[in-house]
């Protein structure tokens, strides 16, 4: 049987949410055909001024 799953370098939304819950940053990237940039995301409760 051939696997239909493809491994990507990206986390799933569920994995990203778990990382954010644990106080870690995630990088959210847009489409390479757009600006091809990323934004750092962290839960506000873990950020310090």
Q: What is the pLDDT of residue 2?
A: 58
Residue 49: the pLDDT is 84
Has residue 24 been placed in a domain?
Answer: yes
Confirm whether 1 is domain-assigned: no
Q: What is the DSSP letter of 20?
A: H
Is 2 a domain residue?
no
Question: For position 38, what pLDDT does the model report?
Answer: 94
pLDDT on residue 27: 96
Task: Give the Cα separation of 13 and 40 in Å (integer).
Answer: 15
Q: How many domains in the chain?
A: 1
The whole domain housing 39 covers 13-46
Per-residue model confidence (pLDDT) at position 32: 85
4-48 tens-digit pLDDT: 667 778 999 999 999 999 999 999 999 889 888 999 999 999 999
| Position 33 in a domain | yes
Task: Tell me, yes or no, whether 42 lies in a domain.
Answer: yes
Placement of tokens 């990237």 in the chain: 29
Residue 8 lies in a domain: no
**pLDDT at residue 3 tops 60:** no
Tell me if 4 is assigned to some domain: no
């Amino acid at each position: 049987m051939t696997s239909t799953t493809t491994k990507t370098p990206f986390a799933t939304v569920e994995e990203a949410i778990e990382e954010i819950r644990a106080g870690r940053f995630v990088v959210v990237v847009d489409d390479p055909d757009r600006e091809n940039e990323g934004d750092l995301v962290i839960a506000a409760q873990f950020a310090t001024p």
